[in-house]
A and B are shown apart, each in its own frame.
Chain A
Amino acid sequence: MVKLFGDTIAETKRILEASVHAGGEQVTKEDKNKVIGRIIVTCLMIFLAAYLFTSGSKEIGGTIVGAVVGYWMK
């Protein structure tokens, strides 16, 4: 079923929690590295946005927050 939202979160959760299975598609180390990278970048972007918000650049901070939220809502 096609979902409007939640794919990114569901995929990230699935890959983070996956281990070797006795069947089905296996998650590789590369997949895990990608989702960990995605989480680290998100945290950095949120911290940057927080910095920009408090230093007066609210428009840029808001844009970053919007982009991050949009990415994870997808």
Chain B
Amino acid sequence: MTKHTKLLFSISFIAILGVNPIACSKAFKGCGEASEKLARESGPNLGRETENAANKAAKKLAEEEAEATRRLTTEEVRPIEISPESKNAADAGRSNTLSQNSDGSYNYNKKRYISFEQIPFENSDNLYLKDGLTQRQANHLIERGVKFVFNNSAYLKQKDKSFRVIYLISDNIPTVMKLYEIDEANAKTLVANSSVSFNNDKIIKVSSFDDMIIKQNEILDKNEVPILIFHNSVKQITLDRFNSESNLITCNSFEVNPKSFLVSTDLLDMTAIIEGVNSSYLNKTLESFYNHFTSSYYAYMLQRNQNFTLIYLSSGVGVAGGIGAIAYYNKKT
């Protein structure tokens, strides 16, 4: 074996050694998160979940108050003000409410953070915010893998309401190409995915924004909450026609309707949305719908990322093996 062949083998070997731990750790982390989600989703009943969440939130509030008292007495830092949002969270049976103190710091998961960027959010958290998001905050959430956050006041107002989903889609390929700004191949895939599902009265398909507005108003008249699924590349004049009570499932909805119950921080995968809606539309209330929807969305994306990791890993091994085979047989001949 020549010196150069040995060098090539060494480089390939080191590359594979380097890739393996990264891929394996990602896969293990993913499996852990998936099991955690499954366990959470398959809990005995929603009532018990809510009760547990209420207990946790109440416990969190008590700990926050104890922490504030302790800091006040020891004068370590400036006093922490327990925000009304934290109290509301405990009342409503939630955890992970982000509250901002008078000195600009944040309280999150029983800890105090000086800046938003220091908070180690996780996508498994149900994060409730008092105000809308800034682009800087959204960027940090994207980095942490958080695609959805909840608006506190909309939550308190709409959590127990019934809902209906309005999905902007058509069986006509050119219409879908225009609505979602995609090419023909992607339009066909989207139509195929959408035609398999969504055959029930809880989900209404419309093929234009005008129809969407009409259906939205009908649903609002019945005192239900419309959830609109669409591609967000529409003009502002169209967005202005949406009612502020409507919920939007579209990319970067924190820019469109920051006061909506559910707000997205990033681009949203349409297949994951379809999967999420399919697995959650049977829920009675908006709160339970969103809990299942976000879990399903993250689970789908996690599975997808794991598949890509495996593809990258096997491709790397294949290339290294190919180089090795070429070197081996070339030397033999």
Q: What residues make up the interface of A, taking CB atoms closer than 8 Å to B?
A: 16-17, 19-26, 28-30, 39, 43, 46-47, 50-51, 53-55, 58, 61
Interface check B181, CB cutoff 8 A: yes
B323 and chain A: residue at smallest CB distance: A50
- Count A-B pairs with CB separation below 8 Å: 94
Q: A22-B267, A22-B270, A29-B183 known; 9 other A-B pairs, CB under 8 Å? A: A20-B190, A21-B251, A21-B268, A22-B230, A23-B232, A23-B252, A28-B183, A43-B319, A54-B5
Known contacts A50-B8, A53-B8; A26 and B327 CB within 8 A of each other: no
Interface residues on B, range: 35 or more
* Contact (Cβ within 8 A) B330 A29: no
- A50 CA / B319 CA spacing, docked (Å): 11
Main secondary structure, interface of B, reads helix
Across chains A and B, which 5 residue pairs bring their CB atoms closest together, nearest first? A23-B251, A23-B232, A29-B185, A54-B330, A20-B270
Tell me how far the C-beta of B316 lies from the nearest C-beta in chain A, rounded to whole angstroms. Answer: 11
User: What residues of A have a CB within 8 angstroms of the CB of B304 in the complex?
Assistant: 17
Contact in complex: A20, B319 (CB < 8 Å) = no
Whether B183 contacts A23 by the Cβ 8 Å rule is no
- Which of chain A's residues has its CB closest to B1's CB? A54
Shortest Cβ distance from residue B48 to the other chain A in the assembled complex, whole angstroms: 34
